[in-house]
Amino acid sequence: MSGLKDSFRFGIRNIRKRPYRSFCLMLAAVIGSYALFVGLSLKSSLNNGLGRMKERMGADLMIVPEESEIKARNILLTGEPEFFYMNASVAKAAEDIEGVESATSQFYFTSLSSDCCSTRVQLIAFDPDTDFVIAPWIDEKVTSGAENGSVIIGSEVTPLANGKVKFFGSEYKVAGKLGETATGLDHSVFMTRDTMHDLLNDAKDKGYQFLNPEDDSSWVSTVLIRVNDGADITNIEKEIYKKANGIRFIETDKLLSDVSVKLGSVESIINITLTVLLVFSFLTMILFFSVIFHERKKEFAVLRILGTSSRRICLFSLTEGITIGAAGGVAGLILGVLTVFPFNRFIENSLDVPYLMPAVSLVILYGVLGVILTTLFGSVSSFLSTLSLSHAETYYTMRAGE
């Protein structure tokens, strides 16, 4: 029989024969692996979310009605359905201003969580002729294009079993689904203004009036502006202020910077917690192995008496360390998976920052990394604990064990 095979068998027997001791050691490994997997997944999801948000924002500037900035931020960041309006003339105010490359308006309203509607989501009407924010995503994901009478749904919106969505009693064909944006827009449904007009009429018929459908073309919720490279945004805002009243600006860079700051704080907390837990896991394993092996001095002395070399004794305990570290690592990974995936939405809502799970391959890598790390913890701590004992003279270790 090979030495490695024997070492493994003997190590396993020792682990099984002392279940409580093995459980405590394994728990330290579970904590390490769990912390690493959850911590790295969270960090990656946050960075991924911010990256995707930057990529998808499209506009450099948003014009919203006075006192609606928070509502607009909510739509973008959390997907909380909101509605607010201002006169459509604001869209005209953004035209012909130096530095403005393109401008488009959107109209926000909401569905309801009652029998009339599939679910309560943000409804967004856009102008396909001037749009530069939605269209790029649709081109990527939609096969049949955005048509009147059909809608585009965000990545988190689930259609009915027949593939349609229902708002205010009428069903609408889903022309396509967008990719994840890590923003509130994932929970939104997009349509042309003509489709919006039909929806507002249906809403009015059901007794829900956002504004008079006969007059809806006079109102917009926001005007999105893309500026030329190097343009002075502050100057553009001043020029628009001269032409329109009762408005506020949300600068995308500022919004992203605010999110970055918040994300930085969350990331710092994750880093500190992760470091503390990993150090705790490693030190606990060293301490446990050291105490346990000290108690097992006599056993090591017996092994020496029976003709086991010091190297072989290290191999025996290394097997125990590796097995416990790996088993604890796998258990921690399973716990981590059971935390990160089912509570994905809860974590997203709790953190209140863009959150987008990384690719499966990266998640698998984090899991493997966690198991490797705790296996390493187990092997290093068992090896260090054995090293001192295997060099001690057997006579003394024998006496100490008695």
Partner 1 sequence: MAFLKAARLVKEYERRGKSFRAVDDIEFAIDKGEFVMIEGESGSGKTTFLNLLTGLTDPTSGDVTIDGKTLKDISDKDISKIRNEKIKYIPQGESLLSALTVRENILFPFTIGGTKRPSEERLLEVAEKLGITELLDEYPSELSGGEMRRATIARAVINRPSLIIADEPTGSLDQANTSKVMDIFKNIAEEGTAVIVVTHQKETLGYASKVYSMSEGKLTENS
Binding positions for partner 1, rule: CB under 8 A = 1, 3, 6, 10, 13-14, 16-18, 298-299, 301-312, 393-395, 398, 402
Tokens describing residue 207: 């007794």
Beta strands in 48-149 (DSSP E): 61-65, 86-87, 100-110, 122-126
Tokens describing residue 202: 């249906």
Task: Give yes or no for a contact between 323 and 4, defined as CB atoms under 8 angstroms apart.
Answer: no
In this complex, which beta carbon is closest to partner 1, that of residue 161 or of residue 306? 306
In this complex, which beta carbon is closest to partner 1, that of residue 13 or of residue 242? 13
Type and span of the H or E element at 10: helix 3-17
Identity at 370, one-letter amino acid code: G
For residue 182, give the 3-state DSSP assignment. coil
Report how far residue 196's alpha carbon sits from residue 101's, in angstroms, rounded to the nearest whole number.
26
Report how far residue 256's alpha carbon sits from residue 61's, in angstroms, rounded to the nearest whole number.
12
Report how far residue 148's alpha carbon sits from residue 164's, in angstroms, rounded to the nearest whole number.
14
In this complex, which beta carbon is closest to partner 1, that of residue 66 or of residue 393? 393
In this complex, which beta carbon is closest to partner 1, that of residue 74 or of residue 394? 394
In this complex, which beta carbon is closest to partner 1, that of residue 13 or of residue 254? 13
The minimum distance between CB 179 and partner 1, in angstroms, equals 56
The minimum distance between CB 398 and partner 1, in angstroms, equals 6
Identity at 154, one-letter amino acid code: G
Query: CA angle, corner 147, sides to 144 and 148, nearest 5?
Result: 155
Report how far residue 208's alpha carbon sits from residue 252's, in angstroms, rounded to the nearest whole number.
32
DSSP secondary structure string for all residues of 192-236: EHHHHHHHHHHHHHTT--SS-GGGGGGEESEEEEEEPTT--HHHH
The minimum distance between CB 322 and partner 1, in angstroms, equals 17
DSSP state of 59: -
The minimum distance between CB 307 and partner 1, in angstroms, equals 2
The minimum distance between CB 304 and partner 1, in angstroms, equals 6
In this complex, which beta carbon is closest to partner 1, that of residue 43 or of residue 297? 297
The minimum distance between CB 19 and partner 1, in angstroms, equals 12
Report how far residue 204's alpha carbon sits from residue 402's, in angstroms, rounded to the nearest whole number.
89
The minimum distance between CB 6 and partner 1, in angstroms, equals 6
In this complex, which beta carbon is closest to partner 1, that of residue 11 or of residue 49? 11
In this complex, which beta carbon is closest to partner 1, that of residue 139 or of residue 393? 393
The minimum distance between CB 306 and partner 1, in angstroms, equals 5
